[in-house]
Amino acid sequence: MADLFDGYRDARARLDSAAFTVPYDEMFGHGAVPLAARAPYADLHAALADLTHEQIRHRSEQLAESYLAQGVTFD
C-alpha cells in the first residue's frame, strides 16, 4: 500500500478530539479500525491507496495539461 492515507487516522483523531461535534467523514466510518472505507467508496479507496502523493500530483498535472491542450479554461 502506498502512503496516500498514512497519518489520516491520527489527523482525524485530532479533529475529533478538538471538535464539539465529530465531523462526518463521507468516505470512512467513524472509529473504523483498521481504516476501512464505507461500501460506496471501497473501490475508490482501493484505487487511491495504491498511489503515492507524487503519482496523484503527476496525474493531476497531466489532466490539467490535457485540458489546456484542448482549449478548456476555467475562470
Q: How confident is the model at residue 1 (pLDDT cuts 50, 70, 90)?
A: very low
Q: What is d(CA 7, CA 30) in angstroms, rounded to the nearest whole number?
A: 15
Q: What is the pLDDT of residue 32?
A: 61
Q: What is the pLDDT of residue 19?
A: 61
Q: What is the pLDDT of residue 39?
A: 93
